[in-house]
Amino acid sequence: MLRDKNHPSVFAWSLLNEPSTTTEAANEYFGPLFEAAHKYGPQQRPRIFALIMYSTPDACKSYHHADFLCMNRYYGWYVKGESDFEGAERLFRDEMDAWVELDLNKPMIFTEYGTDNYIGESKLPSVMGQSNTRMGT
């Protein structure tokens, strides 16, 4: 037991990363995939996938397949970026409230958030899309 105390563990199967989930076709396609992961996984680990920004509670047709929700969210950068932090916070809170209203009784994890960045670059107010000659971009 002491030997393995710092080893990573697989606690869930992440089956998809940012798939398009806003159509019924996605629901029909991903359903069997989640069922197979449950059927063939002897440990019966939770099944998850990371929802892309536009997979919101009113648009996503596939969230019910996951055992808990994983969110990739970029409020304040790709959505309401620049210096409109209050607007970004409002949109973030509105989305989270909409998830709560669904009463899913599922855990939620933020799997991606933040911004692209360059080492040594730090500006307030934030500057979006700025090229960095040191990085060759």
Whether 101 sits among the annotated catalytic residues: the reply is: no
**Active-site choice (35, 82, 112, 121):** 112
Whether 95 sits among the annotated catalytic residues: the reply is: no
**Active-site choice (18, 35, 82, 95):** 18
Q: Can you give the three-state secondary structure of the chain, one letter per residue?
A: CCCCCCCCCCCCEEEEECCCCCCHHHHHHHHHHHHHHHHHCCCCCCEEEEECCCCCCCCCCCHHHCCCEEEECCECCCECCCCCHHHHHHHHHHHHHHHHHCCCCCCEEEEECCCCCCCCCCCCCCCCCCCCHHHCC
Which residues are known to be catalytic?
A: 18, 112
